[in-house]
Amino acid sequence: MEKLNIPYPIVVEGKYDRLRLLSVCNANVLTTDGFGIFKKSEKLALLRRLSQSSPVIVLTDSDGAGKVIRSHLSSAIPKDRLIQLYIPQIKGKEKRKAEPSAEGTLGVEGMERQLLFDLLSPFEDREKTERRMENPLSKADFYRDGLSGGADSAARRDQLATRLGLPKGMTANALLAALKILLSYEDYLRLVERNDGEF
């Protein structure tokens, strides 16, 4: 497998996540040192500074801790400068660990290389990525299509997330940010139309 060349900084949680990504791409991969990002104001300042000149890819684990770290980064860096990527929730344990994580799911370091390659490959092309970041998909679309504001909206978001290889339990805002990057507006409309209300 030839390595990808990713022109954007990528933020992951720990050094083993970083090593896993560097096995599939050439990129500037930075770590939050887990919850260390909450104590290290200089690291957050660096990420803010990087985001002024380039969008920043965020790829944390799909567990509770990963969500907290992602939320912290999202509150510190302008949303239009973040590329939010998600790994699927896969049950298992990393080889180097004696015990599985608290939630029993694999983190970034435990993902198959092909999965990470496929996740990152759309971002090799800077021009195409930045066009996608201007995607007009909005909360109004979500409301119209039953993905927010309805009694069963959370279940519908979970159905759509599962179909697209995203973790369940995403808020409307988180799913919207992910879809704006993963799909063109036309692709989204086709997906909704083809499923006729079901995902």
* Fold for the domain defined by 4-134: Dna Topoisomerase Vi A Subunit; Chain: A, domain 2 (3.40.1360)
Q: What does the pLDDT read at residue 130?
A: 76
pLDDT at 102 over 80: no
What pTM did the predictor assign?
0.74
Which of 17, 122, 11, 16 has its CA nearest to residue 77?
11
Q: Write out pLDDT tens, residues 129-159.
A: 777 778 899 999 999 999 999 999 999 999 9
Buried b (16+ CB within 10 A) or exposed e, 86-109: bbbbeeeebeeeeeebeeebbbbb
Q: In angstroms, rounded to a whole number, what is the distance separating the alpha carbons of residues 156 and 78?
A: 28
Helix (H) or strand (E) holding 82: strand 82-84
Where do the CATH 3.40.1360.10 domains begin and end in the chain? 4-134
